[in-house]
Amino acid sequence: MKKRAVFLDRDGVLNRTIIRNGKPYPPASVDELEIMPGVVDGLQRLKEANFVLIVVSNQPDVRRGITSRSTVEDINNSLAKLLPIDRFKICYHDNSDVCDCRKPNPGMLIAGAGDFDIDMASSYMVGDRWKDMEAGISAGCRTIFIEQGYNEKQPKVFDYKVSYFTDAVNIIMEGEM
């Protein structure tokens, strides 16, 4: 029997972003890492409902030379110690690299699904940016957009729009009843 997953963007969903001029940026170090409210309990509820939890995150600042790969991995390792994440799928490419893993492409979701034999139609993509929603739709997932009020392009299509991570978890759990 195929498993169900919740694919999770990292920055702005699991951890707080650093906002500059209305635009979100990832934490520059583990010292700046702050887990968003409700994430610890929400992920535990999803694990208890037998969802596989897979982080799918674009980290182009590595390619751009702004941050190191080891910094991204340190942040992921810190998250892994605090949260019941099953797998991290990270794209280190920039837009000009034309890869299939960088969201809005669904490559990271498809790879994660292959790792765990996931049924995409009964899975969810939870994100805070239009690229997350497009990747989830392309992969065949239901999508939950967490509105953060960023000063950037907003998604036009998604299944659900919420203000908080706990709202996203509640929608997923209601689908289980």
Q: Where are the domains of the chain?
A: 4-174
Strand order in the sheet with 51-58: 87-91, 51-58, 4-8, 124-127, 142-146, 160-162
11 among known catalytic residues: yes
Q: 9, 61, 128, 132: which one is catalytic?
A: 9
Residue 122: its pLDDT value, please? 97
Q: Rounded distance, CA 162 to CA 100, Å? A: 28
Taking the domain 4-174, which CATH number applies?
3.40.50.1000
Nearest to 11 by CA among 160, 153, 146: 146
Ordered per-residue pLDDT tens for the chain, 177 residues: 899 999 999 999 999 999 999 999 999 999 999 999 999 999 999 999 999 999 999 999 999 999 999 999 999 999 999 999 999 999 999 989 989 999 999 999 999 999 999 999 999 999 999 999 999 999 999 999 999 999 999 999 999 999 999 999 999 999 864
41 among known catalytic residues: no
pTM of the model: 0.97
Residue 38, token pair as written in the block: 């409700």
